[in-house]
Chains A and B, each alone.
Chain A
Amino acid sequence: MWTGIMVPLRQELMVTLILFLLLFIKVGASEYRTGTILRLVNILLLANLVLGFFPCPDATLFNGMFHTGRLIVLEKNILNLGTLIVSLLAYDWLKEHRQALEFYMLLLATLTGFFFMISSGNLLMFYLGLELSTIPLTALSGFDLEKKQSSEAALKFIISSAFSSALLLFGISLLYGATGSLGFDAIPRRLDGSAFQLFAFILLLSGFAFKISVVPFHLWTADVYEGSPVAVTAYLSVISKGAVFFIFIQALYTVFRPLAGNWNRMLILLSVLTMLTGNLFALRQNNLKRLLAFSSITQSGFILAGITGSSRAGDASVIYFILIYIFSNLGAFGVVSLISAQTGRENIDDYKGLYAANPLLSWVMAISLFSLAGIPPTAGFFGKFFLLMAGAGRGNYVFIGIAALNMVIALYYYLRVIKAIFMDSQPQPIGKLKIPLLPNIAFGLCVAGILVTGVMGWVYDYIYSLSIGF
């Protein structure tokens, strides 16, 4: 009986176990060396990642509250991998931080929340998972304790997420009134597309849209990304967004399938708005974190384009793209994080002439940005290609044309950064920076991921074989 619960729940249990282990270390040990703890945590996270790869049967537990299968395990593995890379990249920053243990406790709490959210088979469970991930994240974004800007980011984040949670809860309660159930299997049977149900759905959609920063709901993104510590920004832009996209696409393709005709049009509109607005604002940014924030808004627009395909290719391309997006965005954020931790400089102008002293960092940055822009040899190209292919599956060629145009606009601001690094010069360029071992491993992982994932066809085939669609 125990294995029947332990095996499907193993990833959640492992993460919670690490969380409590850290709590006991914090409470029990009077003195510890931060460096040792950081290495220990990274090893535990690696063990957690490996544990996820053991085969797991499909299971539905606790009266349908929790369900898992090969696709969900794969999604959790992707999140685990991303968290490990974030943790490796944060090493340089955390080494000097007095509250590294708390950082990991909060980080793992959010990860537990994401896992339960992805596995939820009930709206109540989904909401709890989302809150469990949001509340620690707000504390994390205020983690640069001596910076005013970081506190401001935390405050903005908690107010906007409280607002979005309120919308979501209102939507959930109306949906409960309209269908009489919170279970993911019972709701679609009772959806008939009446005005009341659509209204509830739109509220739910707005709640989701806040979390993945889709355009009318994106206003918090740039400020929070800029103010938060870089490691947290990276986590927010990749892991948090990826997890919400996973559950979003599941909800749309299974729970809200009867409303597909309605949400398809909504998503196309939101996607176009998101891509355009994200791009136009990104063109004007000079702070690299803000630039990456707006670029991540644009990427959300592209992912929405893939979702509108509502086919197996749609699901597969979104998961595949998020995997690649983790590598490319974390590569870029990793470089920003390292340079910011050692020199405190974050503007594009500061990066002029970076190549002269730091060729390795420059190349990592360049490859990551090429992948974000979607330039062919990198995996980013294949990710975007599959997204647009999936989106084109429904025959919306005008929409896909707009998306392709946006890729060209995006190229401009990515190349601007690369030009600054490789071709421009300035009186005081950033000197030679020391790259510690752990961030170096993370850079290796990111670059390898970007260069290899696109070429290995079986990755996409494997994801496709697990995907859902209709």
Chain B
Amino acid sequence: MGTTQLLFWFLSILAILGAILVVTSKNPVHSVLWLIVVFVAISGHYILLDAQFLAIVNLIVYAGAIMVLFLFVFMLMNLNADTEPQKNRWLKIAGVVTGGALLLVLVAALKKADLKAQMAEMGKGDIGLIHNLGLVLFKDYVVPFEISSVLFLSAMVGVVVIGKKAEEDKTTLGSQKYGG
């Protein structure tokens, strides 16, 4: 087993373990911390696939910015207590059975799979550099790239509309509180 394979297995086990702990942790803050572990492991996978730029961006944006936002929300809403209500036991069993059946089918399908894709290119370290990424992004994938800007614009408009509502709710609530 080479170093790459060793790293692959290590990162995979780390990611899966982290993901399981995200779901099972009772405390939301712990969940977020485990989620960071998952993101770091996935960034490691990106580096193994020679996608260095993607790995760094993933680390900065997800593990950095978004997770901090999550923590802020938990802090502001004071969610760090164990507030999740206990679920029905039968529901849990049903969930495990369904999930297990899906896993079984997936594993069986994967075992007989005949992958026609080219395997990841190993040993050629330059495919994930910004230069090549930019070329692909602005040549082959220019339309999806441009459309995603409309997507972000519309998402922003939607957020502003909903955000304005929250502001009004607060003012009406406040006036009720102090006026009445």
Contacts and interface: CB of A to CB of B under 8 A. Distances in A.
Given A102-B157, A135-B154, A138-B158, A116 B110 contact: no
12 contacts: A23-B153, A65-B144, A102-B160, A124-B144, A128-B148, A135-B151, A136-B155, A139-B154, A139-B155, A139-B157, A145-B161, A178-B115
B161 A99 contact: yes
B1 interface: no
Contacts of B161: 99, 102, 106, 139, 142-143, 145
B141 A136 contact: no
Contacts of A102: 157, 160-161
B105 A199 contact: yes
B112 interface: yes
Contacts of B164: 99, 145
Interface string A91-121: 0000000010010011001101100100000
Given A109-B150, A139-B162, A180 B116 contact: yes
B158 A136 contact: yes
A352 B112 CA distance: 62
Contacts of A151: 165
Interface in A312-368: none
B155 to A, nearest CB: 5
Interface stretch (A188-196, A236-244, A297-305): A188-196
B135 interface: no
Given A62-B142, A106-B154, A194-B112, A139 B159 contact: yes
A125 B113 CA distance: 26
B151 to A, nearest CB: 5
A177 interface: yes
A360 B34 CA distance: 62
Interface residues of B, number: 33
B6 interface: no
Contact of A178 (B113, B155, B157, B165): B113
B141 A190 contact: no
A172 B162 CA distance: 31
Nearest to A16: B150
Given A135-B154, A135-B158, A178-B117, 10 more contacts: A128-B147, A132-B151, A135-B151, A135-B155, A139-B158, A142-B161, A154-B162, A178-B116, A180-B116, A196-B110
B143 interface: yes
Interface of B: 105-106, 108-110, 112-118, 140-144, 147-148, 150-151, 153-155, 157-162, 164-165, 168
A176 B160 CA distance: 36
Determine chain B's interface SS by DSSP, over half rule.
Answer: helix
A131 B158 CA distance: 14
A201 to B, nearest CB: 11
The 7 closest A-B pairs by CB, nearest first: A139-B158, A180-B117, A109-B154, A196-B113, A195-B109, A145-B165, A199-B109
A138 to B, nearest CB: 7
A106 B156 CA distance: 10
Contacts of A61: 143
Interface in A385-399: none
B165 A62 contact: no
A60 B116 CA distance: 26
A19 B157 CA distance: 11
Given A125-B144, A142-B162, A195-B109, A136 B117 contact: no
Contacts of A139: 154-155, 157-159, 161-162
A66 interface: yes
A66 B146 CA distance: 13
A125 B142 CA distance: 11
A65 B158 CA distance: 27
B157 A131 contact: no
Contacts of B147: 112, 116, 125, 128-129, 132
